[in-house]
A and B are shown apart, each in its own frame.
Chain A
């Protein structure tokens, strides 16, 4: 295995890393205490995060420090302000925040405290997807321990700084990972995304200034404050600094969540960390950063994993969750599975998305099952162009349409072969058969 320096998952290697005792011995809360003891200027803290170049790890890659700086000036706007930590983690392929919350909850809490200090927050809500029961439990226990140690609540460490941190349980809806859908859900409503503007920094939770940050983004903050922005920029690339947690899944020998520097090639992750394509097979295609990022063919495997490089090959870095398909996999089947997912998860507000995802699902289903026509390929394309870009309240519609356009671009021949043969050529028959016909059940 490669030996790139790590920092995100180091503590997670320790026994009982989720407890306050072990975490503190490993230096947890030291960066926050230093800021508090020195009475640092909150704006200067935000400035360090800005200078570090940290980009959000939840999918959009938006600069975290810049997002923080959008919060209104506290001297002019005295409304209570909030942060929601997005721990909904429901982008297929993505399974990294779960590891952080389960193994190093105090690391995330320290990040929340620093963010609370920098932005003058009233409270932080950590919105965890409902299915993540163990990560939720670990986080709640960590909050209880930290509160008992005087690190959360009123007059923290006797320095007159107050911050509440609360856990909040979602109930299984992909759309609640979208920041405004998340806020609606946190308010106890259906997760219907809000039109923007107004943006969360001006009108967020309960109409108050709010910032929504991904778990891994906040998790990076204590390291940046401990070692400085220049240190952080020593990892990764100029425009995408730092390490990231790459969840790699699908047809690889050793699927896992690996800490790697941004800018590492996809090949190095595949071969050096994940043990290569499983069963000595060839790679057919891969999703660079979760199911919403368009599939790319195997010959692009030498592309560096950073925001700009992946954009350069016509896809997106997303959450950095690589999903790998070997030569026996069917890209139409994969598209059908994903279209079904987006159909299921569309909140239904916008007709382009509500109808479009359903149509994509039905069309891919009939092509995979040997009932597609050549007109379906054009229909997939024209439908997708009606769904993206920027035609709906949120990006779920884009998330369904972009991978559709990508599979047509890179694997049109495979789609056409399905139509011409009247069956899925990769399983030798018609009808959606169990996947075991095509990909053996992994032991």
Chain B
């Protein structure tokens, strides 16, 4: 295994922003996850470690510390429903239930057809527009059941 050349070229640019190369580690893991099927596989962690001159366990320690990084492949679409206080007060549990109903996925799991992964996440900083979820990196705010059905029902 080796990292795609395109990513290596990006990393070569990224590391120039910092006095120490390792500072680019987290942004680099993000790019790997975005480009390599939405997760960070053990092979990818080894490749990243090699690029940065780190031990694989150093990369593993970082990947598993940060909630945004996945160590399992997700479905085609990822729905991250905020369940912190401001969203909870405005019905996040109901939104989560509706998301599960529409997608056929349980919380923390991927639907049988591999189309959706549903998860709950802590505060996303959209409290004045609660309840909300993040769908594939885009915020959807001021949700109600009808909006949830419309947004997720139309996805391929």
Q: How many pairs, one residue from A and one from B, have CB atoms within 8 Å of each other in the complex?
A: 171
> How far is the CB of B90 from the nearest CB of chain A, in Å?
5
Query: Are A190 and B65 within 8 A (Cβ)?
Result: yes
Interface centre among B24, B52, B88, B121 (most CB of A within 10 A): B88
Closest-CB distance, A143 to chain B (whole angstroms): 11
| Known contacts A173-B65, A188-B23, A255-B127; A130/B30 CB under 8 A | yes
Chain B residues contacting A164 (CB-CB under 8 Å) are: 17
A233 at the binding interface (Cβ < 8 Å):
no
Q: Is A299 an interface residue (CB 8 A)?
A: no
Q: Please measure, in the bound complex, the distance between the C-alpha atom of A98 and the C-alpha atom of B139, giving whole angstroms.
A: 12
Given A173-B65, A435-B93, A341-B25 contact (CB < 8 Å): no
A247 touches B127 (CB 8 A): yes
Asked if A248 CB lies within 8 Å of chain B CBs, one says: yes
A172 and B67 contact, Cβ closer than 8 Å, known pairs A166-B17, A249-B128, A341-B123: yes
Give every chain A residue within 8 A of B30 (Cβ-Cβ).
130, 169, 171
With known contacts A323-B89, A334-B85, A435-B94, A171–B69 Cβ distance under 8 A: yes
Q: Which of B96-144 contact A (CB under 8 A)?
A: 96-97, 121-131, 134, 137-139, 142, 144
Q: A248 and B61: CB pair below 8 A?
A: no
B5 at the interface (CB under 8 A from A): no
- Residues of B within 8 Å of A337, CB to CB, are 83-85, 88
Chain A residues contacting B128 (CB-CB under 8 Å) are: 95, 247-249, 255-257
Task: Report yes or no: A92 in contact with B85, Cβ–Cβ below 8 A.
Answer: yes
Verify if A178 is at the interface (C-beta below 8 Å from B). Answer: no
Is A153 interfacial (CB 8 A cutoff)? no
> Least Cβ distance of B99 to chain A in Å?
12
How many B residues face the partner with a CB closer than 8 A? 52
Q: How long is the Cα–Cα vector from A185 to B62 in the complex, in angstroms? A: 9
A439 close to B90 (CB less than 8 A): yes
Does B50 have its Cβ within 8 Å of any Cβ on chain A? no
Complex Cα distance A255/B126, Å? 11
Q: Do A250 and B93 touch (CB < 8 A)?
A: no
Chain A window 309-340, contacts with chain B (Cβ cutoff 8 Å), 1 for yes, 0 for no: 00000000000010101000100011001100
Q: Does B42 contact A (CB under 8 A)?
A: no
Could you tell me if B144 and A441 are in contact, using CB atoms closer than 8 angstroms?
yes
Question: Are B122's CB and A174's CB within 8 A?
Answer: yes
**A341: which B residues are within 8 A, CB to CB?**
84-85, 122-123
Cα–Cα distance between A442 and B88 once the two chains are bound (Å)? 11
Q: Tell me if B19 and A80 are in contact (CB < 8 A).
A: yes
Cβ–Cβ < 8 Å partners of B29 in chain A: 171
A345 in contact with B85 given A171-B29, A171-B30, A206-B19 (CB within 8 Å): no
**Other-chain contact of B125, A90, A166, A248, A436 (Cβ < 8 Å):** A90
Most buried by A among B62, B65, B142: B65
State in angstroms the CA–CA spacing of A249 and B126 once bound together.
Answer: 9
For the complex, what is the distance from the CA of A132 to the CA of B22, rounded to whole Å?
A: 22
Please determine whether B93 and A249 come into contact, CB atoms closer than 8 angstroms.
no
Is B145 positioned at the interface, with any CB of A under 8 Å from its CB? yes
Find residues 222-274 in chain A having any chain B CB closer than 8 Å to their own CB.
Answer: 247-251, 255-257
B149 contacts partner chain A, Cβ-Cβ < 8 Å: no
A164 CB → nearest B CB, Å: 8
Given A131-B124, A168-B27, A337-B84, 16 new contacts (CB under 8 A): A80-B19, A94-B127, A130-B30, A168-B17, A187-B20, A188-B20, A249-B127, A250-B85, A250-B130, A323-B86, A323-B89, A323-B127, A341-B123, A347-B65, A434-B93, A442-B142
Taking Cβ atoms with an 8 Å cutoff, the residues of B that contact A are 17-20, 22-27, 29-30, 52, 61-62, 65-69, 83-86, 88-97, 121-131, 134, 137-139, 142, 144-145
What are 22 A-B pairs at a CB distance below 8 A?
A92-B86, A130-B68, A133-B137, A174-B123, A188-B25, A189-B22, A206-B19, A206-B20, A250-B89, A250-B90, A255-B129, A257-B128, A291-B123, A334-B85, A334-B88, A337-B83, A436-B97, A440-B91, A441-B91, A441-B144, A441-B145, A442-B131
